[in-house]
Amino acid sequence: MPTRKTSFTTDTNGIPHIDATDARDLFRQLGVVHATERSVQMILMRILGQGRGSELLDSSDMMLGIDTFFRRMNWTKGLAAEILKLSAAEQAQLAAYCDGINSVLTKKTPWEFKLVGYRFEPWLPEHSILIARMMGYLTLSQSQGEVEKLFVELVQAGASVKHLEELFPGLLQHADLELIKKVQLEHRLVPPEYLWQLGLPRMMASNNWVIAPGRTQSKSAILSNDPHLEGNRLPNVWHEFTWKCGNRSGAGAGVPGLPGMMVGRNESVGWGATYTFMDSVDSWIEKCRGGKYLDHDKKWKAFSIRREIIKRKKKLPGEAVFYENHRGTLEGDASGAAEKYILNTAWSGAATGAASLKGAMAIVFATSVKEAMAIAGKLEVSFSWVFADAAGNIGYQMSGLMPKRRNGWKGFVPVPAFKKNFDWQGFVPPEQLPRRFNPKEGYITTANNDLNSWGKQKPINMPMGDYRARRISQVLGSAKNHNVASVQKLHYDTYSLQAEEYLKILRPLLGEAQHEQILADWNCHYDLDSVGASVFEAWYRELYSIVFGQGDDNAADLMWREGGIFIDFYQNFDRILQAKKSVWFKGLSREHAYKEALDKIKAHTFRPWGETNRFVLKHLLFGGKFPRFIGFDYGPVPIRGGRATVHQGQIYRSAGRDTSFIPTFRFVTDFSERALHSNLLGGPSDRRFGRFYTNEVESWLNGEYKQLRF
């Protein structure tokens, strides 16, 4: 397409403001902005998604394992076919976005990549489809798959039916435990946690809510969103911008590599997103021998064999071989004469992307809650969307591809593909997924909790804890004069309903010891100066270790090693830890376990939460590789909040490193004004030596918001 001079400017905070003539020009200029400000992020995502890290970055064994992971996912398959699903206008807009990127990066490759000998390859429309697939899976779809693998590992480690039923209540239908014990689990070349060391975005949680005019001071609707991702990285996943196109305008944030505004608002309607915990990852048990599998029709059929050659810098190439059928990709080797049972796993969004790009580009120009709900509902990525509009409406819509499963299968446990027909039958239409419009409560809130009651189908079988959702609803339901300031205060709320529930059981057991008195007096807030939060966390870790991580039951130790799973699904563990009786207590009473945990921490020295709960923000490529004074890394910074607070702030060890999932970007907008109030952990740019690399960190820490007018 013919190019024109770009007309975007940046404000004093480094936020780009785009002034476009039409939609195609808007997306072209957005491509220019993303290439100018976030080129390292975009290029790194593309390299990893293609499984070319060993070829272009480094040839370590860990990188080979990461490339093998992405080659198994095979997200580069069928990209051109997805482009053809776009209309002519949509293809033109996507092409314009790519043109904007290439107009910058074909002239100047980021110096960070020059250091490793990489030469920029033009950005194609297919690459944005690839990023859409990656964003869909590298959120919590992978976490769902990992907890389902944990179930298999627990069965094979000897966990009893009673242990499994308490940990995964209502999910054991179709679980053939004796068959599961025979499954050959593949050795993991690289633990899943290592993916996040390379700066890949992982959306671990999030809050969003909308408030109807009847509960606001301005008598206009209010929308709030604070996506929670791994926060200790630079740059931030999100990139903010404002735009004007004719008589339309808006402000919000997107993900570099994708055309569109994923969260934000225009003059008519606003939208915010959190992750849903929809189960979109399933596994089947295949009976295999000689490169074939026994299907449910009792016929032996040949797997398709895919061979991937992985080039490695200054080393001989590696080869990965994958066995596939119409269900998914086998997690093992089907060759050999002996019969064996192997898991075959599929993610519902593996061959998608077009609908997500359609939605990302279309929602920018939506005019009402109902229109935005219809657009968002068709996205393949699994999100919980909330909406508010200038007419005072509020709404909710879940998106994502929920498989239609046969024979009452819920999808959590692996089922024998050779005994019954458990193949997917397509996907549930968005109209049957959870949705709401103008509820009588006058507000809608989501925080990765169980939302099955809002729909005709039940897409969630392993929700996150409902503590944050209950706390937000508690605050929203207590007043009818909410405004921007009150929402900002709620963004930084550190009260833990989880701690409150534990302390109801624990307080009668507390004695006169200093640490016990600190707990008795604690107000359940994870503030930076709170010693009580530090004591509670030490006690909680010991309680977890006593009940799950030690003793004669080898199965329990698996959960201690899977730290990420515990962070995602901690309420499943809390249900057991707060129960009066449980088989996991190994014959102990609950009170005995609580007291034993108290005794184990009595010799500890406790410091304020902000002195221990802190991390360093590390650069995507050079994190930890240069002295701190060079400036690629920032910190350490203290983080308020815990795992169950609205301001989530739990830090834990994973794959030998500290990680956390926190509100990396916050915004609130009141429809009585054309403005977005926001702050972002980091800055707009990934240019280390520019002014806007970390210019917002202190504002984020201190609860200060900038205003984006449009």
pLDDT, tens only, 108-132: 999 999 888 999 999 999 999 999 9
Q: If you average pLDDT over residues 137-165, what whole number do you get?
A: 86
Q: Taking the CA atoms of 563, 569, 572 and 578 in sequence, report the sign of the dihedral they define.
A: positive
**H or E stretch at 491:** helix 484-491
The predicted pLDDT at position 563 comes to 55
Helices 23-37, 88-105: inter-axial angle, 10-degree rounding: 30
pLDDT at 655 over 80: no
The predicted pLDDT at position 75 comes to 95
Residue 589: inside a domain: yes
Token representation of residue 266: 């225009």
The predicted pLDDT at position 570 comes to 86
pLDDT at 228 over 70: yes
pLDDT at 546 over 70: yes
The predicted pLDDT at position 656 comes to 57
pLDDT band (50, 70, 90) for residue 3: very low
pLDDT at 554 over 90: no
The predicted pLDDT at position 451 comes to 97
Nearest to 691 by CA among 683, 679, 700, 699: 683
Residue 406: inside a domain: no
The predicted pLDDT at position 137 comes to 87
The predicted pLDDT at position 321 comes to 98
The predicted pLDDT at position 230 comes to 75
Residue 98: inside a domain: no
pLDDT at 600 over 60: yes
pLDDT at 393 over 80: yes
The predicted pLDDT at position 654 comes to 57
Contact 618, 233 (CB under 8 A): yes
Residue 358: inside a domain: no
Of 128, 206, 280, 382, catalytic: 206
What pTM was computed for the model?
Answer: 0.94
Residue 156: inside a domain: yes
pLDDT band (50, 70, 90) for residue 139: low
119-123 long-range contacts, CB within 8 A, separation 24+: 120/43, 122/98, 123/31, 123/35, 123/42, 123/46, 123/98
pLDDT at 6 over 90: no
Give residue-wise pLDDT tens across range 441-468.
999 999 999 999 999 999 999 999 999 9
Give residue-wise pLDDT tens across range 395-413.
999 999 999 999 899 999 9
Residue where a domain terminates, one of 347, 382, 406 = 347
The predicted pLDDT at position 195 comes to 54
The predicted pLDDT at position 1 comes to 39
pLDDT at 556 over 70: no
Q: Residues annotated in the binding site for Ca(2+), as ranges?
A: 146, 279, 281-282
Express as a percent the part of the chain with pLDDT over 90. 82
In 227-384, which ranges are continuous DSSP H helix?
354-362, 369-376
pLDDT at 377 over 50: yes
Q: If you average pLDDT over residues 618-641, what whole number do you get?
A: 88
206 part of the active site:
yes
- Span of 31-45, 177-191, 197-211, 488-502 with lowest mean pLDDT: 197-211
pLDDT at 657 over 80: no
The count of domains in the chain is: 2
Pairing of strands 706-709, 228-230: unpaired
Q: Count CB neighbours of 119 within 10 A.
A: 8
pLDDT at 4 over 80: no
Residue where a domain terminates, one of 347, 374, 398 = 347
Nearest to 482 by CA among 211, 209, 208, 207: 211
Q: How far apart are CA 30 and CA 10, in angstroms?
A: 13
pLDDT at 590 over 70: yes
Residue where a domain terminates, one of 610, 635, 658 = 610
pLDDT band (50, 70, 90) for residue 630: confident
- Which CATH number does the domain housing residue 563 bear? 1.10.1400
DSSP 555-616: HHHHHHH-HHHHHHSHHHHHHHHTSS--GGGTT--HHHHHHHHHHHTTT-----HHHHSEEE
Contact 128, 358 (CB under 8 A): no
Q: Cα Rg for the chain, rounded, in angstroms?
A: 25
Contact 35, 49 (CB under 8 A): no
Residue 662: inside a domain: no
Token representation of residue 670: 């009141």
- Which CATH number does the domain housing residue 329 bear? 2.30.120.10
CA atoms within 13 A on the CB side of 176: 15
| Mean pLDDT over the full length of the chain | 92
Q: If you average pLDDT over residues 40-50, what whole number do you get?
A: 96
The predicted pLDDT at position 553 comes to 47
Nearest to 455 by CA among 433, 431, 429: 433
**H or E stretch at 64:** helix 61-73
The predicted pLDDT at position 232 comes to 81
Q: Residues annotated in the binding site, as ranges?
A: 146, 279, 281-282
Express as a percent the part of the chain with pLDDT over 70. 93
Token representation of residue 285: 């048990």
Residue 316: inside a domain: yes
Q: If you average pLDDT over residues 634-662, what whole number do you get?
A: 83
* Domain coverage including residue 584: 497-610
